[in-house]
Chains A and B, each alone.
Chain A
Amino acid sequence: MSPKTLYDKIWDAHVAHESEDGTCLLYIDRHLVHEVTSPQAFEGLRMAGRKVRAPEKTIAVPDHNVPTTIDRANASTMTEESRIQVEALDKNAKDFGIHYYPVSDVRQGIVHIVGPEQGWTLPGMTVVCGDSHTATHGAFGSLAHGIGTSEVEHVLATQTLIQKKSKNMKVEITGKLRPGVTAKDITLSVIGATGTAGGTGYVIEYCGEAIRDLSMEGRMTVCNMAIEGGARAGLIAPDEKTFEYVKGRPHAPKGAAWEAAMAYWQTLFTDEGAHFDKVITIKGEDIAPVVTWGTSPEDVLPITATVPAPESFKGGKVEAAQRSLDYMGLTAGQKLTDIEIDTVFIGSCTNGRIEDLRAAAEILKGKKIKVKRAMVVPGSGLVRAQAEEEGLADIFKEAGFEWRLAGCSMCLAMNPDQLSEGERCASTSNRNFEGRQGYKGRTHLVSPAMAAAAAITGHLTDVREMM
């Protein structure tokens, strides 16, 4: 048999039907659902008189719209439209008999944090969700695609997705990371190197010593942003760390089923000599703590750099860079560390896990913030509970951070957590698009440690100086 990549193996194991032209029906093992991209899909099922084919493989949780303030049980904290969307999900989950974590449940949180936490995401699976950051689940060696609402409806009705196979791309991060450099810096640096369209048409497998050395949380951060590089999905081969993380989770296999699963999971790696259509290698030691200066995730620079001149780019990017600088209120040549920050946001499916909160708390311990506002929005109710148990919540609160309930919050600002016009934010989320965190809001993407450092000094800061 010819050697296969990890992607090839998972793909081959899930093709339910293949047409002559290579169009496949890919069987879906887990379908995650949230309130924003699903109402129209359920409506479509109702109109056509269709059922959910595999309700036991379908898991729903509201996250995008829900308020994260402590008083959220009070319905008036939600706008009318948001309430309608959340209620629609309540009803759809009930009517169609799918697993559901309502807002009142301690297990509620961002869909991409809840899935792995509850053991729904397992190695070798296919996972989809009507959300581009579904790529997160690739950290377990599962093939995870973001899909649109029509596809959500398609998966609900048929448990399959119409797909053609993508190309294979390998992103290898060799050697060790330097102190102060995190998974977020890896993933941003990769996008900086490839551009936001660099991964278009590919599924990326991340590998190399620096990736192996990451915790599961870190690997999820890396895969989460595969989509910002344009890739269909990001993957990391499962290993002992993966199995350790999965073991004992509520929906992970147990007993004999665990043994059988383990035997299979251990075959999930790229064979020696397997073909990749594109290979990118980055030395771990070359990666610095980075920030974004513009309005595309590819606008990445080491924190020690200066704001670039638009003329230094090529083609359509010159105009885009000028537009970014105008939007961001920055001038070419300005030192990144001189950029003053109004707000710090720690959270999102990129960096809302326990390890992220630990990294930020480590920097914040015994210090006070200088920015106007700072908030921590844990990725799930369980992350929040654990952080409280570990004393992290107290560190945040004493430093002057707001300590919120779980949800997407200011990552996309669909709930009241928004930046105002011109407000500048150091954010651990994944998108710095115009208006992403609020109309005319300005976003600098950073790691949790870098966000904490900026909170203390009031400007973008090299976290290594605080370690």
Chain B
Amino acid sequence: MEKFTKISGVAAPLPLVNIDTDMIIPKQFLKTIKRSGLGVNLFDEMRFDRQGNEIADFVLNKPAYRQAQILVAGDNFGCGSSREHAPWALADFGIKAIISTSFADIFYSNCFKNGMLPIVLPQEAVDVLMKDAEKGSNARIEVDLESQTVTSSDGQSFKFDVDAFKKHCLLNGLDDIGLTMEKAKSIDSFEAKAAMERPWV
């Protein structure tokens, strides 16, 4: 997995609340058996009309935001299904961090597995960054995972929380499975104990 340390990039404003996984990647694109290549279908039904033409006023179609690396979104981003296709599509498009007041649980943990950082900030901070994002490509927002700060283009800094283990994995690009397998002994002994205590499982 790619390491995540610090980025400075254009942020696209998406002020809607409850942006769900069906909006992020509609189900017709879930039929793939690969992880890559979903970026072209990110937000498909909001981004393209039925003929496949771009809908000009959707934010990611505007020239200023075509290279956006950050999304600033309304509350409860990523609600809905567990489909990892949603973070895959975002990552494939080039999004590296998403800022909102809250995220749906499964989506939130899926982001970390794909080298993306979801950032939860209070409403006031999100409002400031949303305004900043609206300024277009001249306004670059900086995200620094090491120091856990987001800084707006005019220098306002906001501190965010992130789980220490998740941060460690993201900073070092670590693969969860490899890490867990190092603990195989604990799993073995748990299994042995459980087989005694709950043999019917």
Chain A interfacial positions (CB closer than 8 Å to B): 13, 16-17, 19, 21, 23, 25, 27, 29, 36-37, 39-40, 43, 48, 50, 53, 57, 64-65, 79, 81-82, 84-85, 88, 122, 124-125, 130-132, 134, 146-151, 153-154, 157-160, 162, 164, 196-197, 200-201, 230-232, 253, 257-258, 260-261, 264, 296, 298, 315-317, 319-320, 323, 412-414, 431, 433-436, 439
Contacts and interface: CB of A to CB of B under 8 A. Distances in A.
Interface stretch (B54-62, B64-72, B107-115): B107-115
Contact of A196 (B27, B76, B180, B187): B76
A70 to B, nearest CB: 23
Contacts of A159: 187, 191
Contacts of A436: 22, 27
Given A17-B187, A25-B180, A122-B201, A200 B22 contact: no
Contact of B201 (A29, A320, A323, A439): A29
Contacts of A134: 82
Contacts of B187: 16-17, 25, 27, 53, 158-160
Nearest to B180: A158
Contacts of A164: 163
A228 B92 CA distance: 27
B80 A433 contact: yes
A23 B114 CA distance: 19
Given A16-B187, A149-B84, A261 B16 contact: no
Contacts of B27: 412-414, 436
A82 B28 CA distance: 10
A260 B200 contact: yes
Given A160-B180, A200-B104, A316-B75, A439 B200 contact: no
Main secondary structure on B side of the interface with A = loop
Nearest to A157: B177
Contact of A122 (B34, B180, B200): B200
Contact of B199 (A27, A257, A298, A316): A257
A114 B45 CA distance: 33
Given A200-B102, A230-B104, A320-B16, A25 B82 contact: no
Most buried by B among A16, A19, A25, A264: A16
A439 B45 CA distance: 8
19 contacts: A27-B194, A40-B35, A82-B31, A122-B201, A147-B82, A148-B109, A149-B35, A150-B176, A154-B180, A157-B177, A196-B18, A230-B76, A316-B16, A316-B74, A320-B74, A412-B27, A431-B80, A431-B81, A439-B45
Given A40-B84, A150-B110, A158-B187, 6 more contacts: A40-B34, A149-B83, A158-B184, A196-B76, A230-B104, A320-B17
A257 B18 contact: no
B139 interface: no
B180 to A, nearest CB: 5
B31 A323 contact: no
Main secondary structure on A side of the interface with B = loop
A197 B75 contact: yes
Contacts of B190: 16-17, 27
Given A48-B177, A316-B15, A17 B80 contact: no
Contacts of B194: 27
Contact of B22 (A29, A36, A122, A433): A433
B113 to A, nearest CB: 4
Contacts of A431: 20, 22, 80-81
B182 to A, nearest CB: 10
B86 to A, nearest CB: 9
Most buried by A among B27, B34, B75, B109: B27
